[in-house]
Amino acid sequence: MKIISSRDSKAVDRLLRPVRGSDRATRATVAAIVSGVRRRGDTALLRYARTFDGLTEPLEVSPEEIEEGAARVPPRVRAAIASAARNIRKVARRQLPRGWKVATQPGVVVEQRVTPLDRVGCYVPGGRYPLPSSLLMTAIPARVAGVSEVIVACPRPAPVVMAAARAAGVTRLFRVGGAHAIAALAYGTKLVPRVDKIVGPGNRYVAAAKALVAEDCAIDFYAGPTEIVIVADKGPPEWIAADLIAQAEHDPDARAIFITTSGALASRVSRAVDARMPGSGPARAALARHGGIIVVKDGAEAVALANRAAPEHLVCEDQRVADGVRCAGAIFIGRYSAQVAGDYAIGSNHVLPTSGAARFRGGLHTSDFVRISTVQRVSRKGLESLAPTVTTLARQEGLEAHALSIEVRLR
């Protein structure tokens, strides 16, 4: 694994630059697919599903099939799903926004009302291996928020995904993936209902489709290739190497970076990565293209570079670094807070912002599945006390009718 000095500004820039998973050709392909599903509905959807997903069975997985599939999953795997689901549910419940009322002055009351979305679409990738954890992380917060219909799209829902769907309380499950699944969820077809919001990770076609439909259907955020930044000056190099490789194995475009003040530790971690690296596969490609070790002069520079990277995952050895890094999707503190545990079972959500988006938001949250509305109640006395402020500001903005709408009530 390559080692660079923080003084090599060009090399640091290349390493910290967000990896974009979409390009012009991808966006053009996705635009044609989305347009086709929007205009031709199920005719286009089924054609794309057969072509890209290899669909040979009915598009929707029946409740009976879900039960039968879940029953085929080994008991120890079902137990692991149940354990992860419990922890995710505990965290999601604490995240749920609450309603409140406040009197801003006598006769003027403002209320916050929290209501769940009606229908949500959860995308679960179906690549080389099934991903039940992605289903749990998206569907459970939606159910905790009170969403009555949770629709899951997965191109190849293996039995373990069906077991996760059962544990999470999924309403309907469809055998469909890619940009055509996103289009169906965003605009609806006769077979697939239209949803209020689409959440969940996916490949570059899914990400591009989510970005495209965002004008018409809410999404969680643009999800690009996964990222990890580790900041440490000590610790077992084999553990640090293992974390870098683990995250890199997700995607050949994954970004895995180690930042340290210790040149000796940098060398040991580099050797450990090379020794543990699989002979081929996405981890090797990711670390060769987007991985690296940066040796910095002090802890302040390490924190500054971590903030600049705004990573999806930040792993650090002590609280001081965690307190200094403001821009990170999820932070793991201490040697035993393995980032991989967060992928599955800690209870925090693993659907996180990438490509620098941690500068302005965190990961998927129960609040992503609710509407927050304000309700106002004003008495005559309250309006009388507000009137001078409202009419003065309205006329300052040249909005005479605004001022008159107050005055006509008080004549």
Q: In the chain, helix, strand, coil percent, each to 5?
A: 50, 20, 35
Tokens of 262: 């210790």
Nearby residues of 356 by Cβ (< 8 Å), 6 or more positions away = 18, 309, 310
CB 17 within 8 A of CB 305: no
Q: Which long-range contacts (CB under 8 A, 24 or more apart) does 337-341 make?
A: 338/243, 339/228, 339/243, 339/246, 339/247, 339/313, 339/315, 340/243, 340/246
DSSP E strands in 39-171: the ranges are 60-61, 100-105, 108-116, 119-123, 149-154
Largest alpha-carbon pair distance within the chain?
84
Strand 149-154's sheet: what is its strand order?
60-61, 172-175, 149-154, 119-123, 197-199, 218-219
Strand 100-105's sheet: what is its strand order?
100-105, 108-116, 370-378
Residue 274: phi and psi, rounded to 5, are -60, -35
Closest CA to 135 of 227, 62, 211, 202: 202
- Of the residues 227, 312, 317, 365, only one is catalytic, namely 312
Tokens of 405: 């709408």
CB 116 within 8 A of CB 369: yes
- Of the residues 180, 250, 290, 313, only one is catalytic, namely 313
Residue 154: phi and psi, rounded to 5, are -145, 125
Count of residues for the chain? 411
Does the annotation count 250 as an active-site position? no
The helix/strand count (H/E) of the chain reads as 17, 15
DSSP E strands in 265-326: the ranges are 291-295, 313-316
Does the annotation count 312 as an active-site position? yes
Closest CA to 137 of 364, 411, 394, 377: 364
3-state secondary structure 36-74: HHHHHCHHHHHHHHHHHHCCCCCCEECHHHHHHHHHCCC
Just list the catalytic residues: 312-313
